[in-house]
Amino acid sequence: MQNRNLKTSIAACLLGIGLSLSPMMLSAKTILVLGDSISAAYGMQLQQGWVQLLQKRLEQQYPKKHKVVNASVSGETTSGAVARLDKLLHNYKPDIVLIELGGNDGLRGQPPQLIQKNLATLLQQSQKAKATVIVLGMKIPPNYGTAYSQAFEKNYAVVCKQYKVACMPFFLEGIAGNKKLMQADLVHPNAKAQSILLNNAYPYIKGAL
């Protein structure tokens, strides 16, 4: 009888421990954000940016903090990110890689074929490192010409389909063209827009968690 009671107590104790550990505590993830000025909080304090707001939201919604690493650099291009990614993957070993790039390539008139090649390389390297990839697509102003704009936007759909990754067609949806949500240069979202950027990206991020 004593042995039976002891086994029952041990089982109850183990069950209690199991219930106290939520699934998220058992699978905390590192999210690497690889972006340009939009994700680097250009023109504002870093804590105002959408990436920092993402960290705060994750801390509020889950019992154990997911780690968000912001490796975004103002002015970054897809070529620059390709040069940096291998070291970032080695140093941080992310579970999720979020790519927000291409805008600077487009504004500089880089060939769409080069942009697509670089995006493909970023996806390949990330997947080789066993990371789930999310792509936040971009669009460029219409004054670059219809043919170039369409080819630029198509890059995201092509590589995301090829590598079977989640892709948001336009990260600045609901922000671009709204002067109240843009800085004076009409290129970078302002502080008021950061929560919208987070809301745009969050469904994709939450799905990857």
Residues 131, 129: Cα–Cα separation, whole Å: 6
Q: What is the CA radius of gyration of the chain?
A: 21
Phi, psi of 189 (to 5 degrees): -65, 145
Active site residue 39: no
DSSP character string of 140-191: --GGG-HHHHHHHHHHHHHHHHHHT-EEES-TTTTTTT-GGGB-TTSSSB-G
Active site residue 195: no
Active site residue 185: yes
- Provide the 8-state DSSP code for 130: T
Order of all β-strands in the sheet with 30-35: 67-70, 30-35, 96-100, 132-136, 166-168
Q: Is residue 198 within 8 Å of residue 61, measured between CB atoms?
A: no
Structure tokens at 102: 């291409």
Q: Point out the catalytic residue in the list 39, 72, 126, 188.
A: 188
Q: Point out the catalytic residue in the list 36, 37, 39, 126.
A: 37
Max distance between CA atoms of the chain, in angstroms, equals 84
Q: Which residues are catalytic?
A: 37, 185, 188
